[in-house]
Every structure is written in structure tokens, then in C-alpha cells.
Chains A and B, each alone.
Chain A
Amino acid sequence: MASIQLQSLAHRYPLAPDYALCSMQQSWSDGGAYALLGPSGCGKTTLLNIISGLLRPSEGRVLFNDIDVTDLTTEQRNIAQVFQFPVVYDTMTVAENLAFPLRNRGVAKNEIEKRVADALQMLDLEERANDRARSLTADDKQKISLGRGLVRTDVQAILFDEPLTVIDPHLKWQLRTELKKIHQRFQHTMIYVTHDQTEALTFADQVIVMYEGAVVQIGTPQQLFETPEHTFVGKFIGSPGMNVLPCEIDGNEAVFAGKRIPLDRTIDNPTARFELGIRPEHIKLSTGDGMPLTVTALEDVGRHVIVRGEIAGTQVSALVKDGVAIPENPYVSFDSAHINLYADDYRVGSGGGG
């Protein structure tokens, strides 16, 4: 197991005009469970392949436990990685598949048997141990791919590249819980790539949000929810995402649609593009307090009703608890303790004063 450090790491594919990964400085601690979250094509898989050594970064260094491994091969780094689509060795049985990475590393025979039996039990594949891997369903094949990573107890880190994409929803939940348990039991450093926020937030202690090749925020699920450092994080996390409202700055107040909202700081010379961020959870609907909202749609999602509407031409969503009456011509007011201020997409302060 190892801590992982990325020093001025950046990557550009040969002949590509733009960087797939912008320069980043990261330090991930030993035994942590991290999730790399971001939309497709934001560089998550590139970053993962650089850490595992499948790809050599064009700039910067990768360090495991403060030792430079940038020039080491995947085999030398002793990393486990599980891919998005199941990879099984067709001609081997399930048990042989699980034993393969151990056998390649010359682990003693009785030790292999023990660990394979453990993995089979963990993944609920005991009955199929002697079946040919090719005869399995996609779910079971992906379990084998996971298993080949999990049998290796001495790995520096286990990397997951959207491993549950092909798995049935009910099984997804079960496997995620299993991974969480394995993490608690063995304390491996785990990095889990996903574009699904639920997966990321339930799996990881620390979520790393990526956007267009750059890390925009690292934090606990709660931090990501309450103080998104970038408007993208606010919009990407939460369902529906944070409302981002363009505003004017006047001293220590923000002006949105004619309404003045107090801030926790004074901005003297506002030149940037300013926006207010507020979660739909923190918008209150009433009959005559605040700004008038033109409702365009109501979406009943069970425990909540999502009210979608417009204020002065800007789209606004609000969450109303199921059973609470929604006024005919609603007015909205913001919970000022939960307002964030953004300048050119990056967070500069929060609402305050009241």
C-alpha cells in the first residue's frame, strides 16, 4: 500500500493539440478511498492509466511512498486495475483466472489456493469456480475482473475504471458495498473512477472532481455539496444541480434581478464575471416574500417536487418537500447562509450578514 503523489503532472497525447490533463499537484494518502468524478472525456481514465503505468505522462512525476515511479512499468509498480469492460481469460476456469496474477508473481501454491478461495467467497462465485470463464454472464465476468485485483493483497493501490458500468443495478449496490467492506478490511489505497455522483459519494472518503482535464475540487461529499469551489462542481453534484445566477456586485452586496443580497466581503473593483450559486434545497417558496417566480414545470420525484421556473430570464430550480403546497404565483427567497459567490466560475466567498 502506498500514498500517491503527482508532481506537476500533465499529459498531452502525441499529435494532439490540447492537453488531456492540465498540470496538477496532488497528494493522496495511504489507505484512502478516493473517487475521481467527472463527465466523460474529462481525463479521468488518462489519469488512472498514468498512475498504473499503462501510460507515461508527457510532463511531471508520479511518486508512490515518496519514491519516483514515473519510469517504472506497470508490473514493477505492483498496481491492480479493474477496467470498465470485463476482461477474462476465456480458456481458463474462474478459479484459474483469479489465480493468474498470483501465479505470474510466483506466489506459493497453498497461498494461491487460500486467497482464491477467499476471493471466490467474497464475490459469491464459489459455485462457478470450475466453470470456463467464457460461459459466464457479463456481471460474473466483471466480478472476475474485480477478483483478479482483490486477490493481490500486497498491491500499492487498486484502481477502478468505472467498473460497475456493465453491472445490473441491484448487483451494483451489492458490489459497491462489498468494495467498501474490502477497503475497511484491507485498507488498500483505492481510486475509483466514475461519472456517477452517487457511486462516487457513497464509495469515497474524498471525491476528486475533474473538469476538462483539470482537478477543480477535492473534498468530502459534504464539502462538495455545500461549498462547491467551481460552478461546474455545483452543477454536476446534486440533483438537480446548483442554481448559478449571474449578478452585479455593489460593494458588499450582490444584485440579482433587482434584489440585493448581502455578502461576507466587500469587492472594491469588480471586473470579473460574477455569479451566485444556491442549491435548490436552499430556496424557499412563499406567497409574497422575495422575487416572483414564473413556474415552467413541476417534476414529482417521490420525496420532493422539483419546481422549475424563471426569474428575470434566468432558469431557477427549487426543491419542495412532498406534501407541501406550492402556491399559485410563488415568490422565492434564498437562504443567505448557503449562498456562494463565484468570480469567473471560481468561488470567492459566501453569503452572509442575513
Chain B
Amino acid sequence: MSIQKVQNNKAWFMVMPVLILVAISAIIPLMTVVNYSVQDSFGNNEFFWVGTEWFQEVLASERFHNALLRTLLFSGLILAIEIPLGILIALAMPKRGWGVSVCLVLMALPLLIPWNVVGTIWQVFGRVDIGLLGHGLASLGIDYNYAQDNLDAWLTLILMDVWHWTSLVVLLCYSGLVAIPEVYYQAARIDGASRWAVFRFIQLPKIKRVLLIAVLLRFMDSFMIYTEPFVVTGGGPGNVTTFLSIDLVQMALGQFDLGPAAAMSLIYFLIILLVCWVFYTVMTSFDNDEQSNSGGAQ
């Protein structure tokens, strides 16, 4: 004898709003891009199937390779500077007293400024004729011009990103640091641990999780950076600061090559997904090791 389960499809109406929202915000736009990426058009709204041709073209093109390398280099430099610097600042911040709120507000300020405003600030700041930085360097006799010199352009963009986003790393690390119970530091003093040992064996392990979030966020954001370099350098001089995002916009909106642009954005998306997955797997693998070890010993 079996009990007949009552089927009730009304529940589907409950999830409808979410389905509609997700469809409009994510699924339909993404599918449109997929649709463009496998078709070609000569206007007149006539499309025909080209299969993986655009993907092959993008993957083989030197323009894409260069933009990808530039973007990877930019993200790599950003992470290499912002993560250690963020940890250092978080370590130096006071843990109690009136200094805490002062520091937190100062740290939060750059994060509150809209991207394009940050770009404009640095565009003006670095100008040789009127900018504080550019003019100051020029009057010191240093030949600095981000609009003409490749290295200067890169330095300006990296400095800008460090100024804008190190705070995020600082705030995340700081939240991890203040959560460490005082007794750990006391025990370390009893054990005669050096400052470095305290960092290496207490602080770093305890902030590992927030640090993972910081690395992921900073990688994704810097890999997708568009507004600030677009405002400051516009991808120049030449192509030296043309990152994937700027290249993509030029291709899609400048040249109106919808097929290759769609294929490129899908590849772009998959690269970000892949790199994030690698980061996540590597950084959480330590935990898994430990768990499997203890499982084996029991």
C-alpha cells in the first residue's frame, strides 16, 4: 500500500518572480551574447550560422593575446602590491580607542568615490600643465607624462588602483585581525614568539579566509577594470593600456563587430571563472589536507 503524495504545482508560482528577475538580468542577456557569438550578419537583420569560427578567430588573434597579457600583468601587479600593503596597513591600525573610527573612515573614503570620478581625479592630478602630481614632478625635473610615456601611463594606473582599492583589502584584513582573541597574543608572549612568528602562526592563519575573499574580489575587479583607465588614458598611449575590457568595447561598439565581440566576451567570462576557481581551490586546499589527515588518523 502506498501513500499517494499530493501534487501541487502552485508552488511554481512562488518562484516565478525570482525566475523572471534572473531571466531578465542574467540568462536572457547571456543567451543573446551566445546567440551573436555563433552567427554573422551583413546587416538587414539577416543572420547566418558560423559555428565556432569567431571563437577560433579571437583565440588566434594577436590583438586578443596582447590585451589578455596586459590585463593579466595589470591584475598580477595589483594583487602583488595591494594584498601585502593592505595586510601591513591593517596590522598597523589601532585595535581600540578613538583612532579606530578615524582610521576606518579614512580607509573607507576612496571606496565611496564612483569609478569615473576616480578616473577624472587622477586624469587631472597627473596632468603636467595643471595637475598637482604631474606639475610637481615636472618642476622637480622628472620627465613624467602619462599621455605619452608607456611606463608613466602604467605607473599612473597602478598607483590609482592602489589608492582606490587597497582600503578594501585593509578593511577585510582588519576585520579578521580584530576577531582574534587577546589570549592568543598573550600565549605567544609566554612562548617567546617573535613579531614575525606571531604574524606567521597566529595572524595569517586566522585571517586566511578573509584574505581569500580579498584576493578574489581584487582579482575580479582588476581583471574587469574599464572605467578608470578609459577616463585616464583611454587605452593609450598607443595600445599599451588597452585591457581586455577596453578592447572589447572598441570591438563591439566602435567597430560594431558583434560576432567576434560576443565570442570574446564569453572567453573573457570563462577566463575569470577559471582563474577564480583556481585561486579558490589552491587557497582552500590547505584546509582540506588537514581535514583528510585527521580523518585518516582517527
Contacts and interface: CB of A to CB of B under 8 A. Distances in A.
Q: Do A and B bind each other?
A: yes
Interface of A: 49, 52-54, 73-75, 79-81, 83-85, 87, 89-92, 100-101, 104-105, 127-128, 131-132, 134-136, 145, 148-149
A267 B297 CA distance: 71
17 contacts: A49-B186, A53-B189, A54-B189, A75-B189, A81-B187, A81-B190, A84-B183, A87-B187, A89-B202, A90-B206, A104-B191, A131-B293, A135-B291, A135-B294, A136-B294, A148-B187, A149-B190
Interface string B182-197: 0110110111111001
B193 A104 contact: yes
Contacts of B191: 100-101, 104, 148
Contacts of B197: 100, 104
B201 interface: yes
Contacts of A149: 190
B190 A74 contact: yes
B186 A83 contact: yes
B192 A83 contact: no
A239 B293 CA distance: 47
B205 interface: yes
A54 B185 CA distance: 10
Interface string B84-97: 00000000000000
Interface in B187-236: 187, 189-194, 197, 201-202, 205-206
Contacts of A85: 181, 183
Contacts of B290: 132, 134-135
Q: Which 6 A-B pairs have the closest CB atoms?
A: A135-B294, A101-B191, A87-B187, A104-B192, A132-B290, A74-B189
Nearest to B291: A135
A76 to B, nearest CB: 10
Contacts of B187: 81, 83, 87, 145, 148
Nearest to B294: A135
A36 B187 CA distance: 20
A83 B183 contact: yes
Contacts of B202: 89
Contact of A91 (B184, B186, B194, B201): B201
A135 B294 CA distance: 6
Given A89-B201, A131-B293, 19 more contacts: A54-B190, A74-B190, A75-B192, A79-B190, A81-B187, A87-B187, A90-B206, A91-B205, A92-B201, A100-B201, A101-B190, A101-B191, A101-B192, A104-B194, A105-B192, A128-B297, A135-B293, A135-B294, A148-B191
Interface centre among A79, A89, A134 (most CB of B within 10 A): A89
B33 to A, nearest CB: 44
Contacts of A53: 189
A306 B193 CA distance: 52
Given A74-B190, A134-B290, A87 B183 contact: yes
Nearest to A155: B190
A226 B193 CA distance: 46
Contacts of B192: 75, 101, 104-105
Nearest to B197: A104
A52 B183 CA distance: 13
B162 to A, nearest CB: 29
Q: Which of B186, B187, B191, B291 has the most CB of A within 10 A?
A: B191
A132 B187 CA distance: 18
A329 to B, nearest CB: 56
B91 to A, nearest CB: 18
B190 A100 contact: no
Contacts of B183: 83-85, 87
A87 B293 contact: no
Nearest to A76: B192
Nearest to A53: B189
A32 B103 CA distance: 49
A145 B187 CA distance: 9
Contact of A54 (B181, B186, B194, B206): B186
A79 B187 CA distance: 11
Interface in B112-158: none
A31 B206 CA distance: 38
Contacts of A84: 183
A131 B297 contact: yes
A136 to B, nearest CB: 8
Contacts of B184: 87
Contacts of A83: 183, 186-187
Tell me which of A92, A104, A128, A136 has the highest count of chain B C-beta atoms within 10 A of its own C-beta.
A104
A298 to B, nearest CB: 44
A73 B189 contact: yes
Contacts of A74: 189-190
A131 B294 contact: yes
A104 B202 CA distance: 15
A132 B205 contact: no
Nearest to B289: A132
Of B186, B187, B294, chain A has the most CB atoms within 10 Å of the CB of: B187
Contacts of A80: 190
A10 B201 CA distance: 35
